[in-house]
Chains A and B, each alone.
Chain A
Amino acid sequence: MGTLWQDLRYGARMLGKTPGFTVVAVAVLALGIGANTTIFSLINGMLLRPLVGVESPERLAAVYTSDFSSGLYGTSSYPDYISFRDGAHAFEGLAAYQNTTVSLTESDEPERLRGASVTGNYFKVLGVGVSAGRTLLPEDEVAAGGDPVIVISHNLWQRRFNSEPAIVNRTISLDGRAHTVVGVVAESFRGLHIGSSPEFWQPMPPPPNNPSARGNRSLTLVGRLKGGATIEEANAQLTAIAARLAQDYPETNRGTLARPDEPRPITVARQTRLGHKQRKTIIGVSGMLMLMVGLVLLIACANVANLLLARASVRRREIAIRLALGSGRLRLIQQLLTESMCLAILGGLLGLLLTLWTSDFLPKFFPSEEASGLDLSVDWRVLGFTLGLSLLTGIVFGLAPALQASRQNLLSALKDDTGAPEVHGFGRFGMRNALVVLQVALSLILLICAGLFMRSLRAASTADPGFNAENVLLMRMEARGVKMKREEEEIFYRGVQEQVGALPGVRSVALAYIVPISGGGMRTNVYVEGYQPKPNEDTELNTNIVSPNYFKTIGIPLVQGRDFGAADTANAPGVVIINEEFARRYFPGASPVGKRLRSDSEGPYLEVVGVVKDAKYRALREEPLPFFYTPLAQGSREALTLFVRTDGDPSAVLPSVRAELKSLNKNLTLFQVNTFSAHLADALSSDTMIAVLLSVFGVAALLLAAVGLYGVMSYAVARRTHEIGVRMALGAQTGDIIKLVLWQGMILLLVGCVVGLSAAFALTRLMSSLLYGVGATDPLTFVGITLLLAGVATLACYIPARRATRVDPMVALRYE
């Protein structure tokens, strides 16, 4: 301990004596460590951070019933939930919840709130505290029908009710109906999922008990394991229950697309803040990002190692004296490593500051709704990571120079006062060259990855989505409270289209249930007349409900048949419009118009009246999907989105559209008001983040490599001053000297590029699944980025080369 303290003090003094070196090294390390800490804080926030505001989150487990065709992680039905709750003894309690929305109709301007219907034991199972009043209780479920009660989030309480304690037992109007607020949930609880912080919780009334209820799977389940019980036990118990249910209720509980004759699988997993699919994507992306910042850190290490090597040659005498005085080699290495550690820790601290800044900044990449509950702040995990990484970094960059310094020849160092030993071949200079080659190679890899992502992002954002999103206003609207009758609804929607369509600056207006590129959609089983599905063929197809003029409004060309019209009412014969992909798949070689399909094996047939061009539906990166549209009047929904195509800037007409809608129905809640273009940009937000992050890392790597190259070339020029002087005396021109120095740099660059390009070829293949519209070995990117790197590197060599030409041969020769 005593020696460590001594080493530390001595190390600090040495660093203080060379402030220039210390500042550069610490800054380089801070960049490298900060990049890692930033990505780690992102991973921490999304994957590692436990749920907050609940008791012992490690004992919470999510329970999934397999979907029919889209994977294991599906929702469950209420009767199944009851069977699970009462039968699985591994759980202390099992709760169910379902996201829902209401309109807060307290003021003139109704506000749409996101919340959840939860079983009465929800808060008890989670162990959530309150800021005021109480949480929901099982008794509330029964009362739900009569005098509805509700608990609200701390945020809503602050935002809309000024944190008044009197909120408890007050009634507020939701969807036009009085609800009693019985409590405010503790501030720390923001729901169970990133991207959806509920603002209220209402008790879920048990649904009427009918045979089909078991098949209606829309509840998410969360349970608390008994102390000592494991996920596996819970899984086994629930699987046994599911097997029994499959026997008792084969209609609803047996079979998935893949295994039609087996019980629906049940999966119990640790409760996480991200959905399963999202989690998988995030793990893939963050793994890649972590790899990239790892490369940045390696480059930084190579850089600092090079600085240390240069310094070591200056400190040769000091080290030789220490060795001569009997300091053991190990002791010396320890001393030198302590110095490296000091540097690394300083770099780590500065890197942490960088992360404090980025943790505020990164969530801004996400659409605000998705980022809600995303907490990237620095916690003990981030601190621990930074500390561990800093120490590791210190060893990585410090070890080689320390070993080399301790191995030097004592006598020659002591005799030689100039401190400029002649070393040839793979000596000190060889190691420095190798480090520069490494830096060039790594930064090339990083830059190529960044380049590919940039191109991918560009391809995704400029790819033709099949519609024209420019100058389109989107506005979701919901008429809650006073439930409209079917006919009233039709009149209202027609009114909306006519009145809003007549506003100045508005070209056309349409309504639709689903906004394209929202990540999700609506799927339904489709039976095409005369088409025999292959065994195990997925007959669930994507669909949307749209008003007349929808295609015209968002610019999807009609290629055959007709658009929906006023005549396609609820009582008129059922009609659909399909896309070209649908036509290709189900009616190859035939004209689709007049063909029939139905979305139920029993129901009435719907006639295809038109074919539209393919467009993107769920995501910009998807392959063409078979898709069909049904008319609004034949498939009405509660919440629809209004699409308004405008002559100019869509936001200019927003006030008049709002006013017009208000005049049509004062109970209307408007939300998710956005332009279509902004909506598309949101869809690319995580791609944008990846591309921006990678570019930042790539540029950082490029700069670090350039600085490294510059350092080595400067060192080489300094070392060759005398030689350059001789050459000039012999008549070398400026150009000859520049060529001489550049050539040396170019060899390093060339070797670095060859290594980097080969590695990049191998590596980028791994991320081809994350790319869109650009190959993992896209030649343009590879060539372009290599040229960019070569340009910057040449500049980095040119400066020392230029300096070399200013060597005064007189002075150089005088140093004989």
Chain B
Amino acid sequence: MSASKQPLIRLQDVKKVFFTDEVETHALAGTHLDIANGEYVSITGPSGCGKSTLLSILGLLDSPTEGKYWLNGKLVSDLSLSERALIRNREVGFIFQSFNLIGDLTIYENVELPLTYRGLSSADRKTRVTDALEKVNMAHRAKHLPSQLSGGQQQRVAVARAVAGQPLILLADEPTGNLDSKNGEAVMDLLRELHRGGATICMVTHDPRYATFADRAIYLFDGRVVKEEMVSFKQDEEGASLVGTQAEVV
């Protein structure tokens, strides 16, 4: 990773404190993180260590209590609500553990939804939605309702929704958490394909197998990055092999 090249994402000493009933939870306790354009990063760690919080901050769903966040060179840590909504809509694609498709809308409409908030013409929307649905192999179910689809299919639709807007980064929070292993692997394959196509992906997972799908694995513990590993993944006839390079603890 060349230091001269500006990272797509830079977190600098980001802290997140939740105040509930006089209890302070330090969900993130000074996190530094750079993600380069086109990189595929996985985040792992025990439950409650702050993975989702980190992802929410990356996705501008939440803002850090302290610290700075640059997205594509722009400082985004203290934007207004509506500016954040705008960036979420254009630059971020979310994939949730529980798919979060809207039950009353068809598959097509679900994928179209973020595009409507962008004010694209319906013709533009149509090409993008169709492209995205084709990418995830779900074009034939466009008119169906989410409840008519299996979990794996729903998650593929959710992926289509995330990529339809051609965001700078895809954020996935345990995308396989609600799926059986077969469907889970299919979704992981899909993400890897997207990455090969140039997408920047940041994925939270607690499954070490999936973590190795990424270029780089980040280990989070008690709100701190405790370990970063460069993963070079090769798939040959014998199966998956890992070549890891230990990075220093940040």
Distance between Cα atoms of A349 and B56 in the complex (Å):
55
> Min CB distance, A672 to chain B, in Å?
70
Interface centre among A728, A730, A736 (most CB of B within 10 A): A730
Given A727-B113, A810-B61, A810-B62, A733-B97 contact (CB < 8 Å)? no
Find out whether the CB atom of B86 lies under 8 angstroms from the CB atom of A731.
Answer: yes
Query: Does B104 sit within 8 A of A, measured CB to CB?
Result: yes
Q: Which residues does chain A contribute within 8 Å of B118, judged by CB atoms?
A: 731
- Restricting to B88-143, which residues have a CB under 8 Å from any CB of A? 88-90, 92, 94, 96-98, 100, 102-104, 113-114, 117-118
Distance between Cα atoms of A727 and B161 in the complex (Å):
12
Find out whether the CB atom of A731 lies under 8 angstroms from the CB atom of B88.
Answer: yes
Distance between Cα atoms of A816 and B96 in the complex (Å):
10
Given A422-B103, A809-B61, A813-B100, A731-B82 contact (CB < 8 Å)? no
Distance between Cα atoms of A537 and B102 in the complex (Å):
78
Find out whether the CB atom of A730 lies under 8 angstroms from the CB atom of B114.
Answer: yes
- Restricting to A721-736, which residues have a CB under 8 Å from any CB of B? 722-723, 726-734, 736
- Restricting to B2-47, which residues have a CB under 8 Å from any CB of A? none
Find out whether the CB atom of B82 lies under 8 angstroms from the CB atom of A729.
Answer: no
Total A residues in contact with B, Cβ cutoff 8 Å: 18
Query: Does A534 sit within 8 A of B, measured CB to CB?
Result: no
Distance between Cα atoms of A729 and B171 in the complex (Å):
11
Nearest A residue to B118 via CB reads A731
Q: Which residues does chain A contribute within 8 Å of B98, judged by CB atoms?
A: 816
Query: Does A424 sit within 8 A of B, measured CB to CB?
Result: yes
Distance between Cα atoms of A608 and B167 in the complex (Å):
97
Query: Does B81 sit within 8 A of A, measured CB to CB?
Result: yes
Distance between Cα atoms of A422 and B113 in the complex (Å):
21
Find out whether the CB atom of B104 lies under 8 angstroms from the CB atom of A731.
Answer: no
Given A723-B102, A813-B100, A729-B113 contact (CB < 8 Å)? no
Given A422-B103, A810-B56, A734-B81 contact (CB < 8 Å)? yes
> Min CB distance, B68 to chain A, in Å?
20
Interface centre among B86, B88, B100, B104 (most CB of A within 10 A): B100
Find out whether the CB atom of B117 lies under 8 angstroms from the CB atom of A729.
Answer: no
How many A-B Cβ pairs are below 8 Å? 57
Q: Mark A637-674, 1 if CB is under 8 A from B, else 0.
A: 00000000000000000000000000000000000000
Interface centre among A726, A732, A810 (most CB of B within 10 A): A726
Q: Which of A732, A810, A813 contacts B96 (CB 8 A)?
A: A813
Distance between Cα atoms of A732 and B82 in the complex (Å):
9
Query: Does B85 sit within 8 A of A, measured CB to CB?
Result: yes
- B interface residue count range (under 10 / 10 to 19 / 20 to 34 / 35 or more): 20 to 34
Distance between Cα atoms of A722 and B99 in the complex (Å):
12
Nearest A residue to B84 via CB reads A731
Nearest B residue to A733 via CB reads B85
Find out whether the CB atom of B161 lies under 8 angstroms from the CB atom of A729.
Answer: no
Q: Which residues does chain B contribute within 8 Å of A810, judged by CB atoms?
A: 56, 61-62
> Min CB distance, B27 to chain A, in Å?
11
Q: Which residues does chain B contribute within 8 Å of A732, judged by CB atoms?
A: 85, 89, 117
Find out whether the CB atom of A730 lies under 8 angstroms from the CB atom of B161.
Answer: yes
Q: Which residues does chain B contribute within 8 Å of A731, judged by CB atoms?
A: 85-90, 92, 114, 117-118
Find out whether the CB atom of B62 lies under 8 angstroms from the CB atom of A729.
Answer: no
- Restricting to B46-95, which residues have a CB under 8 Å from any CB of A? 56, 59, 61-62, 81-82, 85-90, 92, 94
Find out whether the CB atom of A726 lies under 8 angstroms from the CB atom of B90.
Answer: no
> Min CB distance, B161 to chain A, in Å?
7
Q: Which residues does chain A contribute within 8 Å of B96, judged by CB atoms?
A: 813, 816
Q: Which residues does chain A contribute within 8 Å of B85, judged by CB atoms?
A: 728, 731-734
Find out whether the CB atom of A729 lies under 8 angstroms from the CB atom of B90.
Answer: no
Q: Which residues does chain B contribute within 8 Å of A424, judged by CB atoms?
A: 103-104
Q: A730-B117, A734-B82, A809-B61 are in contact. List 16 more A-B contacts (CB 8 A).
A: A424-B103, A722-B100, A727-B102, A727-B113, A727-B117, A729-B59, A729-B61, A729-B88, A730-B94, A730-B161, A731-B90, A731-B118, A732-B117, A734-B85, A813-B96, A816-B96
Q: Which residues of A contact B (CB under 8 A)?
A: 422, 424, 722-723, 726-734, 736, 809-810, 813, 816
What are 25 of the A-B contact pairs (CB < 8 Å)?
A424-B103, A424-B104, A723-B103, A726-B102, A727-B102, A727-B113, A728-B85, A729-B61, A729-B88, A729-B100, A730-B89, A731-B85, A731-B87, A731-B89, A731-B118, A733-B82, A733-B117, A734-B82, A734-B85, A736-B117, A809-B61, A813-B61, A813-B96, A816-B98, A816-B100
Q: Which 5 A-B pairs have the closest CB atoms?
A: A731-B89, A731-B88, A730-B114, A816-B98, A726-B100
